[in-house]
Amino acid sequence: MKNIVLFASGSGSNVENIVQYFQENSEVNISAVLTNKTQAQVLDRCNRLNINGLYFNRNAFYETDCVLDIVKTFNPDLIVLAGFLWKVPKNLIANFPNKIVNIHPALLPKYGGKGMYGNNVHEAVRANNETETGITIHYVNENYDEGAVIRQVKTSVLATDTPETIAHKVHELEYEYFPKVIEELLRGE
Ligand code: GRF
């Protein structure tokens, strides 16, 4: 059995998609979803999906080993950040080398770094008249959006696209590819 621990800060549509993808797979267990937002919609999804949803605050994350200790109890094979907006502290990175992955809604190294999340990314892609954007799935290190790239998938940006239509295209790629890449990583491919 392989265990996944997810981290999310917002809506959690990727979390739900990943949970549903692995529902029929008896080899993969979604151990828990951890969030830094008490009001995150992802917690409602956890309730509905019957998945452990756990909240932690800034102090627990950055000043203690509390979150690390909780994650350790699940013995994760992979820690997946799916729309998680805080920088991951050293204690987690040191304890789970090459086991923490993130998805970024653009083609890194473009449109990465602090402040580059959600619609900010798609608005910047539009403003710069990019002709393509996409997703980047990468390992997490101590700097935002800088770990080794695992997979990038592109989509075209048309002159008629708005930040909203770009976001939609990117989400479609996330839903299609993120669970598959997670599955490959769990298989050691
Ligand atoms: C996704 O676009 C992901 O790439 C980014 O944050 C967004 C999360 O969306 N890191 P959701 O919470 O999964 O709906």
Mean pLDDT, residues 27-48 taken together = 97
Q: Regarding predicted confidence, which is higher, 146 or 169?
A: 169
CA of 99 to the centre of ligand 1 (A): 19
Q: Are residues 93 and 110 in the same domain?
A: no
Q: Does some domain include residue 187?
A: no
Q: Are residues 92 and 45 in the same domain?
A: yes
For residue 9, give the CATH number of its domain. Answer: 3.40.50.170
Two tokens, residue 160: 């008629």
Q: Note the pLDDT tens digit of each residue in 102-138.
A: 999 999 999 998 889 989 999 999 999 999 999 999 9
Q: Whole-angstrom Cα distance, residue 88 to residue 80?
A: 12
**Maximum mean pLDDT: which of 72-76, 114-118, 139-143:** 72-76
C-beta of 105 in contact with ligand 1 (< 6 A): yes
Amino acid in position 118: G
CA of 172 to the centre of ligand 1 (A): 11
Instruction: Return the pLDDT at 141.
Output: 86
Would the annotation count 156 as a binding residue? no
Q: Does some domain include residue 185?
A: no
Report residue 5's pLDDT band, with 50, 70 and 90 as the boundaries: very high
Q: Does some domain include residue 149?
A: yes
Backbone angles phi, psi at 156, to 5 degrees: -85, 150
Residue 168 falls in the annotated catalytic set: no
Q: Does some domain include residue 181?
A: no
- Closest residue by CA, ligand 1 atom 14: 13
Q: Does some domain include residue 133?
A: yes
Checking 120-129 for CB contacts under 8 A at 24+ apart, the result is 122/163, 122/164, 122/166, 122/167, 122/170, 123/163, 125/157, 125/163, 125/166, 126/157, 126/161, 126/162, 126/163, 126/166
CA of 14 to the centre of ligand 1 (A): 6
* Entry pTM: 0.96
Q: Does some domain include residue 54?
A: yes
Q: Does some domain include residue 8?
A: yes
Average pLDDT, the chain: 96
**How many domains are there within the chain?**
2
Q: Between helices 163-187 and 118-127, what is the axis angle to 10°?
A: 120
